[in-house]
A and B are shown apart, each in its own frame.
Chain A
């Protein structure tokens, strides 16, 4: 339990550069002083965890770094990773009033990164913890998975004096924060350092334990006061076309995981062209990663149009700057092995039904991930898309004492949504035992002293 998690340096992801580096102190001060300290600020409303953004920014400006970081952590205990992985253009910064002044919006993610980074450095330097863990309340909670949702839920519970154990089937905790996030935003070891920090506040993580085999959800429900399901999504789904099982056809998250985690993994020198199937952010991410790692030709083929694609516009713009092409209205039909050993992807135009052949060295499927919650929890209510059904405020599922959050309930959103779910589930558990949380903010925007 006390082992710090770490990784081999020899990973492909380490060759990519940080797109938004840490602010220097003067950059942070200038940016912080630009914030208007709006009342009822739109940026707060746009943050799924409801961080009191103007308050933490004002504290950067006033030089109260510890206070600034605590304001962040009380609402979002994964403030270190969300500062870097959140699509702020779509969330807080996208809502900043400066957009209406036709001015560059406040760079909230970068300010958050600065505050958290400085405060954690101070914490290490002075050995004075940011939070005081509440005395034990004699409650036990088991959490399944150690991704953002469970880490958030578990950390808040630990801070409230609850005994928590996280069971993680992989050898490393962190979920997609470690295995999935694009490296130019956030590297796997930073995600692990965040987990190492949380462990200091009492998180007990058991890696290499898959719930469902020997230990089941029913066992955990029997032994604990509550159980939290934070299992995320499963393996990449494939379109079900002939040839998809050929060599050099990959699932996107599996490939990204190798780039991030696998020591010694290299792209072949003669990898010239990769075709990616999909239209979401995972498709854009793997496209950008391959382009930045030097693959000369990267195409995304998507069955509908740019206007309706779920991937973010700002991400697609970056991808284009890096040389990625988007081909619209192409539905994959089959894959064949070409005479020279490369692959041919046959697509059909969505309207004209015209056929196109895409030659590629590799093909990557980025069309979604499996939902498997119902497989490991008998009797659990899931919706038609396989998402776990929960109560909106408490994150309670249909199974008594079982709570859930993160990708397994929303079908795949952002880390920050998983963090919000985790916090709100923790809050609801504490309240259900008749206790009053001391380190956990109640709901988005609620602001108290601490």
Chain B
């Protein structure tokens, strides 16, 4: 089995899976159960001057019958006394010396930061995470994302923290910003040992159409919250890869945002994350999901012949380029496997209305106008008889076919097709060599 042990700039954990700061890390009893279930580390629920939280505070988007594909919250930082939190951190570290406990912090003045860092480290924290990301409530008080959005302030507070901290410090970034490289570089400038991202995305999740109160409802009113869960993963992956590709970001990154399965985790690692943090998926299913995270990732690493999880880190980041460097001569076309096609014609309607009008059925003439090569006027129905004989003996006459000359190779049909492996995008061989937009501009072509 591949070695999953993780060293995050000095923070050691038996595997890269950490709980993100949030309800799953509210208290010591929870964190201990999480470690028993297999989690390698936990970022404690953000500590600061304890607040009062509202009720209710969560709302979710369900998609196609799947619950909680996106979650929105208006919870602030811890509402429990600091004393209790530190006592529990101490107890956890005593019992689990080999697991990582990172304490998330949010303060205002330099003196306050100094004190809380001291107390967190005295309690046994293996590292600190600075919450510069919370996009609701705390930012109205000048903390959280209002820091993350001001690179100068972010750099200053980071440098204060670095004066006092003796354990590694991670800066947790907000995605609510124009260019993620700006706060990322500010964290490096401030001397941080690592970056974690993303925190939640500013959002209004929906409206109760009976009461016309947006969600979550707090006594007939609502406020904007922070969005997380599976829906935010692509945004997090982009931000992670942008930092990973920037040579000046020379500190490790802890990837967060929508991670629910081992595949999600593997993608974050491949795009440059050194550790993984999970919040929503645990809120949905419990700590037990870590079993498949670990098992699936180690089986994947074994299958890839990788001896250790570190071999995966950043392997895909190097394959992300600027658009201008992509090869304009490369092309693909779809091939439909008539044997497995179920004849739903989702690909046909997608290409007709949302693509480039180059998938046709055998029964109906093409409805689109194609200029000179119009086959709307000259219906091009494929001469060959319908193909497919399914193993069950059913014959489908509505297997569509592709006009490869018209096809732009966008992938849409293969994305909508509900049958795995039925539409394959196949590379078109050519002898023109590689040419990118930037190369064309350099040659004076447009």
User: Contact: A63 with B420, CB < 8 Å?
Assistant: no
Q: Contact at B299–A447, with CB atoms within 8 Å?
A: no
A interface, how many residues as a size bin?
10 to 19
Q: Is there contact, CB below 8 Å, between A128 and B295? A: no
Minimum CB distance partner of B296 in chain A: A64
Which residues of B have CB within 8 Å of A59?
292, 295-296
* A352 touches B (CB below 8 Å): no
Q: Tell me whether A62 and B292 are in contact (CB under 8 A).
A: yes
| Total contacting residues, chain B, CB less than 8 A | 17
Whole-angstrom distance between the alpha carbons of A450 and B294 in the complex? 9
- Min CB–CB distance B445 → chain A (angstroms): 44
A413-424, CB under 8 A of B: which get 1 and which 0? 000000000000
- B296, A62: Cβ atoms closer than 8 Å: yes
Contacts of B295 in A (CB 8 A): 59, 64, 67, 70, 449-450
**Which residue of chain A has the shortest Cβ distance to B264 in the bound complex?**
A62
Residues 287-335 (chain B) with a chain A CB within 8 angstroms: 288, 291-292, 294-296, 299, 302-303
Q: Complex Cα distance A29/B281, Å? A: 20
Contact with B along A66-107 (1 / 0, CB 8 A): 110010000000000000000000000000000000000000
User: At the interface, yes or no: A26 with Cβ under 8 Å from chain B?
Assistant: yes
Q: In the complex, are the beta carbons of B263 and A37 less than 8 A apart?
A: no
In the bound complex, do residue A64 and residue B286 qualify as a contact, i.e. CB atoms below 8 Å apart?
no
Q: Decide if B296 touches A449 in the complex (CB within 8 Å).
A: no
Is the Cβ of B420 less than 8 Å from the Cβ of A64? no
The reply to whether the CB of A58 lies closer than 8 angstroms to some CB of chain B is yes
Q: How many A-B residue pairs have CB under 8 A?
A: 40
How far, in whole Å, are A390 and B34 apart by their CA atoms in the complex? 38
Checking B38, B286, B299, B420 against A67 with a beta-carbon cut-off of 8 angstroms, the contacting residue is B299
Complex Cα gap A70–B285 (Å): 21
Say yes or no: A58 contacts B292, CB within 8 Å. yes
A55 within 8 A of B: yes
Interface string of B144-183 (1 = CB under 8 A from A): 0000000000000000000000000000000000000000
Residues in chain B near residue A449, CB distance under 8 A:
38, 291, 294-295
A37/B285 in contact, CB under 8 A: yes
One digit per residue, 1 when the CB lies within 8 angstroms of any chain A CB and 0 when it does not, for chain B 188-201 equals 00000000000000
A18 on interface, CB distance cutoff 8 Å: no
Residues of A with C-beta under 8 A to B38:
449
B286 closest partner in A (C-beta): A39
Residues of B within 8 A of A55 (CB): 288, 291-292
Cβ-closest chain B residue relative to A61: B261
By a CB distance below 8 angstroms, the chain A residues around B299 are: 64, 66-67
**CB pair A64 B291 closer than 8 Å:** no
What chain B residues lie within 8 Å of A64 (beta carbons)?
Answer: 262, 292, 295-296, 299
Pick the contact of B420: A25, A66, A450 (CB < 8 A): A25
Question: Could you tell me the distance in whole angstroms from the C-beta of A171 to the nearest C-beta in chain B?
Answer: 36
Instruction: Give the CA-CA distance A11 to B330 in the complex, in Å.
Output: 57
Find chain A residues with CB under 8 A from B415 CB.
none
Say yes or no: is B419 at the interface (Cβ < 8 Å to chain A).
yes
A25 to B261, CA, bound (A): 19
- In whole angstroms, how far apart are the Cα atoms of A26 and B419 in the complex? 7
Point out which of B261, B262, B286, B295 has the most chain A C-beta atoms below 10 A from its C-beta.
B295
**A126→B302 CA distance, assembly (Å):** 11
Would A447 and B420 count as touching, CB distance under 8 A?
A: no
Q: Cβ of A29: which chain B residues have Cβ within 8 Å of it?
A: 420
* Whole-angstrom distance between the Cβ of B78 and the nearest chain A Cβ: 26
Contact A63 B263 (CB under 8 A): yes
CA distance A265 to B13 in the complex (A): 64
**Which B residues are CB-close (under 8 A) to A37?**
285
- In the complex, what's the smallest C-beta–C-beta distance from B215 to chain A, in angstroms? 23
Question: Measured between C-beta atoms, what is the minimum distance from B183 to chain A in Å?
Answer: 33
The 0/1 profile, CB within 8 Å of A marked 1, for residues 253-284 of chain B is: 00000000111000000000000000000000
- Please indicate the chain B residues that have their CB under 8 angstroms from the CB of A447 in the complex: 288, 291
A62-B292 Cα distance, complex, nearest whole Å: 9
In the complex, residue of chain B having the shortest beta-carbon distance to the beta carbon of A448: B291
Residues in A neighbouring B285, C-beta threshold 8 A: 37
B350 to chain A, nearest CB (A): 19
Interface string of A128-139 (1 = CB under 8 A from B): 100000000000
CB distance from A225 to the nearest CB of B (A): 31
B286 and A62: CB pair below 8 A?
no
Give chain A nearest CB distance to B416 CB in angstroms: 15
CA distance A55 to B420 in the complex (A): 23
Interface string of B82-105 (1 = CB under 8 A from A): 000000000000000000000000
Residue of A nearest to B285 (CB): A37
Contact at B291–A128, with CB atoms within 8 Å?
no
Are the CB atoms of B302 and A128 closer together than 8 Å? yes
Q: How far is the CA of A450 from the CA of B291 in the complex (A)?
A: 9
- Chain A residues near B296: list those with CB within 8 A: 59, 62-64, 67
Q: When chains A and B are docked, how far (Å) is the Cα of A285 from the Cα of B294?
A: 44
Interface residues of A in 278-328 (CB under 8 A from B): none
Beta-carbon nearest neighbor of A59 in chain B:
B292
The chain A residue with its CB closest to the CB of B418 is A26
Distance in angstroms between the alpha carbons of A39 and B287 in the assembled complex: 12
A121 to chain B, nearest CB (A): 14
Output the least CB separation between A130 and chain B (Å): 10
Residue of A nearest to B302 (CB): A128
For the complex formed, measure the closest distance between the CB of A445 and the CB atoms of chain B, giving whole angstroms: 12
Q: Report Cα–Cα, A29/B286, bound state, in Å.
A: 22
Q: Least Cβ distance of B98 to chain A in Å?
A: 16
Contact A67 B302 (CB under 8 A): no
The smallest C-beta distance from B398 to any residue of chain A, in angstroms, reads 18
Q: Which residue of B lies closest to A56 (CB)?
A: B292
Against A, the Cβ 8 Å flags (1 = close, 0 = not) of B372-416 are 000000000000000000000000000000000000000000000
Q: Which chain B residue shows the least CB distance to A39?
A: B286
For chain A residues 43-68, which have a beta carbon within 8 Å of chain B?
A: 55, 58-59, 62-64, 66-67
- B290, closest chain A residue (CB): A449
When distances are taken between beta carbons in the complex, the residues of chain B under 8 Å from A70 are 295
Contact mask B103-143 → A, CB, 8 Å, 1/0? Answer: 00000000000000000000000000000000000000000
Q: Smallest Cβ distance from B231 to chain A, in angstroms?
A: 17
Check A26 against B420 for contact (C-beta < 8 Å).
yes
Which residue of the partner chain, among B263, B288, B303, contacts A62 with CB atoms under 8 Å?
B263
Q: How far is the CA of A101 from the CA of B155 in the complex (A)?
A: 55
Chain B min CB distance to A58 (Å): 6
A433-450 interface code vs B (CB 8 A; 1 in, 0 out):
000000000000001011
What does the 1/0 interface line of A149-171 toward B look like (CB < 8 Å)? 00000000000000000000000
Q: Which residues of A contact B294 (CB under 8 A)?
A: 449
Nearest residue (CB) in B for A66 is B299
Q: Which residue of A lies closest to B294 (CB)?
A: A449
**Which of A29, A58, A126, A450 neighbours the largest number of chain B CB atoms within 10 Å of its CB?**
A58
Which residue of chain A has the shortest Cβ distance to B303 in the bound complex?
A126
**CB-nearest residue of chain A relative to B422?**
A26
Cα-based distance from A126 to B305 in the complex (angstroms): 12
Give CA–CA (A26, B417) in the complex, Å: 12
For residues 224 through 272 of chain B, which have their beta carbon under 8 Å from a beta carbon of chain A?
A: 261-263
* Residues on the A chain within 8 Å of B303, using CB: 126
Interface residues of A in 317-351 (CB under 8 A from B): none
Nearest 7 pairs of A and B residues by beta carbon = A64-B296, A67-B295, A62-B261, A66-B299, A26-B420, A59-B292, A449-B291
**Can you report 27 residue pairs joining A to B where beta carbons are below 8 Å apart?**
A26-B420, A29-B420, A37-B285, A39-B286, A55-B288, A55-B291, A55-B292, A59-B295, A62-B261, A62-B262, A62-B263, A62-B296, A64-B262, A64-B292, A64-B295, A64-B296, A66-B299, A67-B292, A67-B295, A67-B296, A67-B299, A126-B303, A128-B302, A447-B291, A449-B291, A449-B294, A449-B295
- A-B contacts besides A55-B292, A62-B261, A67-B299, 12 pairs, CB < 8 Å: A25-B420, A29-B420, A39-B286, A55-B288, A59-B292, A59-B296, A64-B299, A67-B292, A67-B295, A128-B302, A449-B38, A450-B295
